[in-house]
Chain A
Amino acid sequence: MAYVAVKGGEQAIENAHAWLAEVRRGDPAVPELSLAQIEQQMSLAVDRVMAEGSCYDRGLAALAVKQARGDLIEAAFLLRAYRTTLPRFGASLPVDTGAMRVRRRISATYKDLPGGQVLGPTFDYTHRLLDFALAAEGEPPPPAPEAPAEETAMPRVTGILAQEGLMAPEAQSDAEPGDLTRQPLAFPADRSLRLQALARGDEGFLLALGYSTQRGYGNAHPFVGEIRMGEVSVELVPPELGFPIEIGEITVTECQMVNQFAGSKTEPPQFTRGYGLVFGQGERKAMAMALVDRSLRSAELGEEATAPAQQQEFVLYHCDNVEATGFVEHLKLPHYVDFQSELEKVRQMRATAMREAAE
């Protein structure tokens, strides 16, 4: 039988997409998920997709989660690909997390502090026992008890340390920060670019890197100065008005890690900051980001960079999960041509080796 070259890629792709649509929906006898259900009941998945997709829109993130069948990296990719087509009409003013409407605020460095500790809606201190009552759909839980809102300000812990001169001040600048979605990263990358990359970086990757700094790969001595989560205002100065107007409110999680620094020839001993800020409620990510931010400051603080988490190129080039998943998964594309040339090369090298062995 004569060989006929393989054909039919086009039809195969269409059939695969039809099948995908069918399995995405699952058993039609089971009610379909609504975007509102995903947004409300899978809210941390929605938060993660907004953070790694770099686009604050709960509705679109919920749609991406639904379309991606719950694959959050795929969902972040969908959101990024949409985001890149949006026009840019301006940049907001820096958000003031000091003025946050706080839902959660904890410090591990002070037992009590102005504004107090607020646990908020957290998994901390829950016993991780499967709650079989949830398997049966029942009545919604009774509303959580509420205290009247306190008017006390919640100063940032790092600010308290700074008053005493114990917190190393950050370099201040009104210069427009770089934008890594418009300009490719160049190294050494300044801190604003590093934080941008980390803020959209993969939670799992940053978690592992942050963890590695605690286990001796990077020599970190971190304390959670403060974690706060809540709503902040986003303000914009329209050029035709010339003064800031509030255009909305977003939920963010901020983590400030406090690290000991022994000092150098020019700097007295003091504490240095590792900073994490993510969209939504993403405490694990914010903490990991703060650890990695601090270890990436090794060069400017005159520390020897020996661990992966201290190497800018290693961290920043590999933290983006949309880039990483694309390149890892491209290995399933056909590589016949390269493999054929490898085959010929290996056969050639084997022939040489065997000839030499026989001689």
Chain B
Amino acid sequence: MTAAAGYNFAYLDENTKRMIRRALLKAVAIPGHQVPFGSREMPLPYGWGTGGIQVTASIIGPDDTLKVIDQGADDTTNAVSIRRFFARVAGVATTERTSEASIIQTRHRIPETPLREGQILVYQVPMPEPLFRLEPRVAETKRMHALADYGLMHVKLYEDIARHGHIAISYNYPVMVNGRYLMAPSPIPAFDNPKMDRMPALQLFGAGREKRIYAVPPYTPVRSLDFEDHPFVPIRADAACALCGSRESYLDEVVTDDRGGRIFVCSDTDYCRERQAAQRRDAAE
């Protein structure tokens, strides 16, 4: 399959890609720091992954293999739409297998299968500013980042503990990158946060509407904020996947009837399918 006629490879023109790559290089050089960039209007709506799409479009080459997931799944409608977009404008190979992909664009999850060196994980980010619920003025949060003035967030976490007994953030749980910048990991469940720490793959974050790019280079320490006496605890549903039996993966709850019936299944469809295939192979042997 070749790229769509009338458009440059991967949709963006080369000057725009160069501008975005410069922002990416700066972001990699200052892990966790938000770099403003001249985000373009994309043919998909803002809030639907335009930042991730622009990052992917600027780094993808004809030899890349792209995987796109939304909520951990390859076949959610928006993931299908973005994968088709790149198949159309870049003509690149796509895959649903985490291990086969060189670039994985994601919304709201980190794959269960550990990523390796050379892979790139591109996150779609709705709100890049980790402090925005506490301080909506960007001019002010910029100053706070410059001074590493993160007291406001620590107070918020402390107040959660005082009020509820534990920190009441379950997703988009703030992390400290390389001991310097407070960063929004995008709305991944807090369960996924530990996977970011010293990940061998490069992690890139694109926020199109907010016009910010940030990055976590391979093997960078990423620590979820916590207190010595209230350590960070990732949570998942206390159940096993109804399809593959996993007790380690992050689960989606599926309501099966209107009498309270529900089961749990892996949110990472590729991980679940691989496990089921392995189980079938084992049973056949």
Contact = CB atoms under 8 A, between A and B. Distances in A.
B139 interface: yes
> What is the predominant secondary structure among interface residues of chain B facing chain A?
loop
Given A9-B76, A341-B191, A326 B38 contact: no
Given A80-B41, A341-B189, A349-B168, A326 B46 contact: yes
Contact of A313 (B43, B108, B139): B139
Specify which of B47, B237, B256, B272 lies most central, judged by the most chain A CB atoms within 10 Å of its CB.
B47
Contact of B75 (A7, A336, A340, A343): A7
A183 B35 CA distance: 12
A129 interface: no
A84 B250 CA distance: 39
Contacts of B164: 349, 352
Interface stretch (B78-86, B97-105, B149-157): B78-86
Contact of A344 (B7, B37, B41, B235): B235
Contacts of B107: 333
Contacts of B251: 340
A277 to B, nearest CB: 22
B138 A187 contact: yes
Contact of B170 (A85, A334, A342): A342
Interface string A322-353: 11011111100111111011111100110010
B29 interface: no
B80 A9 contact: yes
A336 B77 CA distance: 13
A336 B267 contact: yes
A9 B265 CA distance: 18
Contact of A327 (B70, B209, B267): B209
A12 interface: yes
A330 B190 contact: no
Interface in B8-46: 13, 36-43, 45-46
Interface residues of A, number: 49
B252 A340 contact: yes
B133 interface: no
Interface string B36-71: 111111110111101000000000000000000011
Interface centre among A5, A13, A182, A185 (most CB of B within 10 A): A5
Nearest to B209: A323
A13 B80 contact: yes
B18 to A, nearest CB: 13
B174 interface: no
Interface string A1-21: 001011111101100000000
Contacts of B38: 181-184
A326 B80 contact: no
Contacts of A7: 75
Interface string B127-138: 000000000111
A338 B40 contact: no
Contacts of A187: 137-139
Contact of A329 (B45, B50, B76, B243): B45
Q: Which 8 A-B residue pairings sit nearest by Cβ, starting from the closest?
A: A326-B46, A330-B47, A184-B211, A326-B45, A341-B170, A327-B47, A345-B170, A341-B189
Interface of B: 7, 13, 36-43, 45-48, 50, 70-72, 75-81, 84, 107-109, 126, 136-139, 164-166, 168, 170-172, 187-191, 209, 211-212, 235-237, 242-243, 250-254, 256, 263, 265, 267, 269, 272
